[in-house]
A and B are shown apart, each in its own frame.
Chain A
Amino acid sequence: DTEVTQTPKHLVMGMTNKKSLKCEQHMGHRAMYWYKQKAKKPPELMFVYSYEKLSINESVPSRFSPECPNSSLLNLHLHALQPEDSALYLCASSPEGQLSGANVLTFGAGSRLTVL
């Protein structure tokens, strides 16, 4: 299994809603990432979990709350979002801690979020 699976594919929410994005990988990767991507722009890093611990938070507003329940799962909890948060949210994973070779990043298909 060489996939990163994200659900839901599409999500529409109001500014007062609470929702979650989910990500799963079964490649044995020990690092998992959340990226935000606006149309025609490169992915922007939000969070990195390494060995299930938050290792990077790129000064993301607290209305985005990541969670890593185990080494295969990554969630992004959403609350009180703004319309400008509408974007494609990409999950990715990488092997981490390899003795040789680069830390290769594998992306999921993304969750398209629309905030009304």
Chain B
Amino acid sequence: GENVEQHPSTLSVQEGDSAVIKCTYSDSASNYFPWYKQELGKGPQLIIDIRSNVGEKKDQRIAVTLNKTAKHFSLHITETQPEDSAVYFCAASEGTGNQFYFGTGTSLTVIP
């Protein structure tokens, strides 16, 4: 089955700096890669996703890149703000299926 690894497990950045979280996956059949942000006491919220026919996707301060050959994808947050502090999970799936394989999470702290 699919195995998703996520690094780092914790990340602290100064407000205004950039943050990068990296994930690797093992199953070449995976073709959909969502990123979730989970704030304390809340459920995971989808913040951006990418499909395997696209190499990069941006949404304001957030971007995701995908390297299918190397089987890794990354989340980039620019101009970080304190409200970006949360746990971020990457995931991989076959796209149309019901199995989503989650990374172990990254706890991001943005220091004002």
Chain A residues within 8 Å of B26, by CB: none
Contact A110 B42 (CB under 8 A): yes
Total interface residues in chain B, CB < 8 Å: 27
A106 to B91, CA, bound (A): 13
Contact A33 B98 (CB under 8 A): yes
- Interface stretch of the complex, out of A12-20, A35-43, A65-73, A74-82: A35-43
Chain A residues within 8 Å of B87, by CB: 40
Contact A104 B97 (CB under 8 A): no
Residue among B31, B95, B98 making CB contact with A50, cutoff 8 Å: B98
Contact A102 B45 (CB under 8 A): no
Residue among B32, B44, B107 making CB contact with A40, cutoff 8 Å: B107
Chain A residues within 8 Å of B100, by CB: 45, 105
Contact with A along B88-112 (1 / 0, CB 8 A): 0101010111111011110100000
